[in-house]
Amino acid sequence: RSPIAGTVSKQEAEIGEIVSANSNVISIISENNLEIEANIPEINIGNMAAQNPVTIEFDALLNEKFAGKVVEIEPGETIVDGVVNFKIVVAIDLLDPRVKSGFTSGLTIETGKKENVLILPRYAVFKKNGKYFVNQPISNNKIEETEITLGISGRDGNVEIVSGLSLGDIVLEEKK
């Protein structure tokens, strides 16, 4: 008897066959609770939290997005190719019957979200002596370095400007 309702996906033994103790002879896939396991690099795990929303894209279902959430973050590390990672588990909110066990997926995990903030492209910001600056034009074709404070970074290449600039200020691309 199985403790869950599901579909038998593998049967490794036949009636009358002798099997060793603690060996898996039958695999069952749950009908309701497919989960995705992913390894998150050490540098990003500090931003993760249970219940973070996740957008899931399956390679087999092109141009479709599914919602989910982080349901578990393992406390111990997992070494993958010599790099420290942490395993997370993502639950899919509404299971589509087309989603199958073993599908390859891409995850976009939302670790922070702010609205109505001042943003700039990251390439317009430069670091000098441990502080962040932007170039602003002043009179007579001169440029002034203005110190700014950064907030969160988006995956789209933009960064939040917490202080140092106001809406409508002109900023030049960083001088190379």
Q: Is 173 exposed, middle or buried (0-12, 13-18, 19+ CB in 10 A)?
A: exposed
45: phi then psi, degrees, rounded to nearest 5: -65, -30
- Write out the two tokens for 151: 């907030």
Token pair, residue 107, equals 């995850």
Predicted TM-score (pTM) of the model is 0.64
Over its length of 176 residues, how does the chain's per-residue pLDDT go in tens digits?
777 777 787 888 888 888 888 888 888 877 667 889 999 999 889 889 999 999 999 999 999 999 999 999 999 999 989 899 999 999 999 878 888 888 999 999 998 888 899 999 999 999 999 999 999 998 888 999 999 999 988 878 999 999 999 999 999 986 55
Q: For 43, phi and psi rounded to 5 degrees?
A: -65, -25
CA–CA separation, 118 and 103 (whole Å) = 39
